[in-house]
Amino acid sequence: MIIKNKPSWQLGYHEVTPEPVFRNRRAFMKGALAGAAGLAMPGLVWPGELPVPGEALDFDKRPGLSTDEPLTPYEDVTRYNNFYEFGTDKTDPAQYASAMETAPWSVTVEGECARPGQYALEDLLKPHDYEERIYRLRCVEAWSMVIPWVGVPLAEMIGRLEPTSKAKYVYFETLVNLEQMRGQRSAFSVIDWPYQEGLRMDEAMNELSFMAVGLYGKTLPNQNGAPLRLVVPWKYGFKSIKSIVKIRFQEARPYTSWEKIAPKEYGFYANVNPEVDHPRWSQKRERRLPSGLFSPNWIETRKFNGYGEQVAHLYRDMDLKRFY
Q: Which residues bind ligand MTE (CB under 6 A)?
A: 81-85, 137, 139, 174, 195, 224, 237-238, 240-243
Q: Shortest gap between Cβ of 126 and ligand MTE (angstroms)?
A: 23
The C-alpha atoms of residue 249 and residue 199 are separated, in whole angstroms, by: 10
Between residues 54 and 112, which has the closer beta carbon with respect to ligand MTE? 54
Q: Shortest gap between Cβ of 59 and ligand MTE (angstroms)?
A: 18
The C-alpha atoms of residue 105 and residue 243 are separated, in whole angstroms, by: 9
Between residues 157 and 229, which has the closer beta carbon with respect to ligand MTE? 229
Give me the helices (H) in the chain, please: 19-29, 74-79, 92-96, 121-124, 154-161, 182-185, 201-204, 257-261, 308-311
Q: Shortest gap between Cβ of 89 and ligand MTE (angstroms)?
A: 12
The C-alpha atoms of residue 101 and residue 124 are separated, in whole angstroms, by: 18
Burial class (CB in 10 A: 0-12, 13-18, 19+), 313: exposed
Between residues 83 and 269, which has the closer beta carbon with respect to ligand MTE? 83
Q: Shortest gap between Cβ of 222 and ligand MTE (angstroms)?
A: 10
Q: Shortest gap between Cβ of 237 and ligand MTE (angstroms)?
A: 3
CA distances from 138 to 109, 239, 271 (A): 28, 11, 10
Residue nearest to ligand MTE according to CB distances in the complex:
237
Q: Does the bond joining 63 to the residue before it have cis omega, within 30 degrees of 0?
A: no
Burial class (CB in 10 A: 0-12, 13-18, 19+), 29: exposed
Q: Shortest gap between Cβ of 86 and ligand MTE (angstroms)?
A: 8
Between residues 125 and 228, which has the closer beta carbon with respect to ligand MTE? 228
Between residues 112 and 287, which has the closer beta carbon with respect to ligand MTE? 287
* CA nearest neighbour of 225 among 67, 94, 49, 134: 94
